Amino acid sequence: MSANEKTTKEILKECLSSQHRRALYSPEALEEIRREFVRWFSSAVGERDRESWRETPLTVLGSDVPRELLYTPLSNPDLDYLRDLGFSGVEPFTRGIHANMYRGKKFTMRQLTGFGSPEDTNARIKFMLEHGATGLNVLFDVPTIQMYDSDDPMAAGQVGMSGVCVDSVEDMDLLFRDIPLDEVTISIVSHYPSNTAILFSMFLVLAEERGIPWDRLRGSVQNDTTMEELVRSGSEYIPPRDCFRIQCDNIEFIKTHVPRWNYITLNGYNLREFGTSSITEMAVALSNGIETLEDLLSRGYSVDNIGDRLAFFWSVGNDFFEEVARLRAVRRLWYKIMKYRFHARNPRAMWMRCHVQTSGVSLFQQEPLNNIIRAAYHALAAVLGGTQSLHVDSYDEAYSVPTEEAALLSLRTQQIIQEETGITHVVDPLGGSFYVEALTSEMEKRILDEIDEIEREGGYVAAIESGMLHKKIASYFAEQQRRLEKGEIRVVAYNVYKSDERLPDIDVFRYPQGVEERQKARLERLRSTRDSQRVEEALSALRDACRRKENILPYCLDCARARCTEGEMFKVFKEAYGLWRPHGFW
């Protein structure tokens, strides 16, 4: 962003202040409510409650927004029904992106799956689908996420852990064996732009080799610079500008060649879980969205065309009403940004579509079964907030990857919400609550304020380069830790109502044995049977493309076709782009 450009907040202020607003409550009614309120306040409310009328709930990774004792029309006196809330499926989308919401399309039950070898994960995927999961969400192991091959010395001891290992297109084939790629929607949790370029290329080559046209594939990749440059701990980082360009290049390629694929998932989740407030989570993701659109518009795309497949990914945690309000707030704010900053006309481009995962850091090791209750409340808030898809964390995740039993329980939690509670029959059931509406407006205001802070730093990428975001996060999570340790944030069985000190021996997941050896052997076989000249040529073409700062996806596809491995491709990125050192957090 250059100095003479207006910030998003300034643009919205300008556009919105000139609008004529029609207040829902008449001045006479408000006046009478005010009079009665004063009378009630001084007669029925005790002195202590009058003094602490506003109190701030201290919750895990919360916003610190103070709450009143009781909300009334006076909390939101100039509410304009049509401008602020309206109807579902139309502007400003506060109440939901579809007119009929869950009556029309149920939220997708998309549980994360990934551990061990591609065959192990394939079996778990089938198990989840057989039990009613409606989407796939594939998580990779640490070496795959960090773009090292299973036989790299750095990967030793970690192959197949906390995700599935994928080194080449052959592993991708085993992972999706018997899964009709064009029938289920597949979320490929390729966190970073770099590994999206690599892993999604392998996925596309797999589809190609199975004879499935790319335009029939539906699903999403993450492809998020925040994940690669801000949230991640890694030994090697490419520079943020290159990373951001790869993110935009991936979008451009996918938009053109895989038209039904969601090419970016702006990830607030991992940022918040890393240790940011519920507000910063959304401000950073939206700032990335804004800068990404600016970049793509400068390449000649129209916002209505390129803006229609951005998706967001949020963490939903303990503060129940705040979480509902936040999802509503960010839906309205994204709409305003698309409408007034980018002048979008296509309603799809104004949708804040999202996936929610329940908060993992809110789960504790003490009395792990309590986590079932926590995650169920998180999930309920996500659905009341109008999410499009959901993953419910399992109660044993503070111990290890979920067991099959725990993973099934998470899926059942979703199915119980969907089938038994009745909450999906009515759209935005909390809309109109004096409290929820006031909190929604407050959340929206605070998210926009933090976007403004980032834009004044020079924008999203600049705020990463300068270390501003790293510092903000570090000071927030240090304070979180202090509050938890002092018991200011109250956590049952951890710092209040503590019982037996001994942690229970729950049945924990143990990784399958021998994955690393099998994977190494498979790689050795691959390296000795593939056409090494073709491999070298593909890698060298990729290197040249990186140096020319060209879109690398077509070259990654050629590498995948030639059976290049993930580690080989990442090595090329490092050589061509050089390495960057992120700012220290402490």
Partner 1 sequence: MGEGKIKVLLAKLGLDVHNRGVLTVAKGLSSAGMEVVYMGNASPPEILEVALQEGVDVVGVSCLSGAHLTLGSSLMTLARERGLVGEMVFLIGGVFPPQDVERLKEMGFDAAFLPGTTMEEIVETIYSLVREKRAASLEPLNREEG
Interface with partner 1 by CB under 8 A: which residues? 142-143, 145-146, 148, 153-158, 161-162, 231-235, 274-275, 364-366, 398-401, 474, 477-478, 481, 485, 494, 503, 505-506, 508, 511, 584-586
CB of 313 to partner 1, least distance (A): 16
Residue 88 or residue 394: which is nearer to partner 1 going by CB? 394
Let me know how long the chain is.
Answer: 586
* Closest alpha carbon to 203 in 215, 217, 224: 217
CB of 160 to partner 1, least distance (A): 9
> Which backbone phi and psi does 385 adopt, to 5 degrees?
-80, -10
Residue 213 or residue 234: which is nearer to partner 1 going by CB? 234
Residue type, 181: L
Q: Are strands 186-189 and 219-221 parallel, antiparallel or unpaired?
A: parallel
Residues 151, 154, 156, 159: is their CA dihedral positive or negative? negative
Q: Are strands 353-358 and 67-68 parallel, antiparallel or unpaired?
A: unpaired
Residue 153 or residue 211: which is nearer to partner 1 going by CB? 153
> Which backbone phi and psi does 112 adopt, to 5 degrees?
-65, 140
Residue type, 108: T
* Closest alpha carbon to 264 in 176, 200, 350, 183: 200
CB of 457 to partner 1, least distance (A): 22
Residue 147 or residue 354: which is nearer to partner 1 going by CB? 147
CB of 272 to partner 1, least distance (A): 11
Report the chain's terminal Cα–Cα distance, integer Å: 28
> Which backbone phi and psi does 521 adopt, to 5 degrees?
-65, -40
Residue 213 or residue 504: which is nearer to partner 1 going by CB? 504
Residue type, 153: P
CB of 483 to partner 1, least distance (A): 12
* CB-based contact 562:538 (threshold 8 Å): yes
Residue 154 or residue 184: which is nearer to partner 1 going by CB? 154
3-class state of residue 314 by DSSP? strand
CB of 81 to partner 1, least distance (A): 42
CB of 474 to partner 1, least distance (A): 7
Residues 432, 436, 437, 440: is their CA dihedral positive or negative? negative
Q: What is d(CA 313, CA 356) in angstroms, rounded to the nearest whole number?
A: 6
At residue 247's C-alpha, the angle toward residues 243 and 248, to 5°, is 120
CB of 48 to partner 1, least distance (A): 32
DSSP symbols for 108-119 = EE--EE--BSHH
Q: What is d(CA 568, CA 558) in angstroms, rounded to the nearest whole number?
A: 13
DSSP symbols for 444-467 = HHHHHHHHHHHHHTTSHHHHHHTS
Q: What is d(CA 469, CA 230) in angstroms, rounded to the nearest whole number?
A: 8
Q: What is d(CA 132, CA 234) in angstroms, rounded to the nearest whole number?
A: 36
CB of 409 to partner 1, least distance (A): 18
Residue 215 or residue 485: which is nearer to partner 1 going by CB? 485
CB of 298 to partner 1, least distance (A): 32
Q: What is d(CA 397, CA 403) in angstroms, rounded to the nearest whole number?
A: 9
* CB-based contact 363:375 (threshold 8 Å): yes
Residue 72 or residue 365: which is nearer to partner 1 going by CB? 365
CB of 32 to partner 1, least distance (A): 51
For 282-306, give one letter per residue: b (16+ CB within 10 A) or e.
bbbbbbbbbbbbbbbeeeebebbeb
Residue 232 or residue 530: which is nearer to partner 1 going by CB? 232
CB of 449 to partner 1, least distance (A): 24
Residue 58 or residue 154: which is nearer to partner 1 going by CB? 154
Residue 74 or residue 361: which is nearer to partner 1 going by CB? 361
Residue 156 or residue 496: which is nearer to partner 1 going by CB? 156
Q: What is d(CA 542, CA 576) in angstroms, rounded to the nearest whole number?
A: 9
CB of 23 to partner 1, least distance (A): 45
| Cis status, amide bond into 512, omega within 30 of 0 | no
Other beta carbons within 10 Å of 273: 19
CB of 241 to partner 1, least distance (A): 21
Residue 115 or residue 577: which is nearer to partner 1 going by CB? 115
Q: What is d(CA 251, CA 292) in angstroms, rounded to the nearest whole number?
A: 9
Residue 37 or residue 585: which is nearer to partner 1 going by CB? 585
> Which backbone phi and psi does 528 adopt, to 5 degrees?
-85, -20
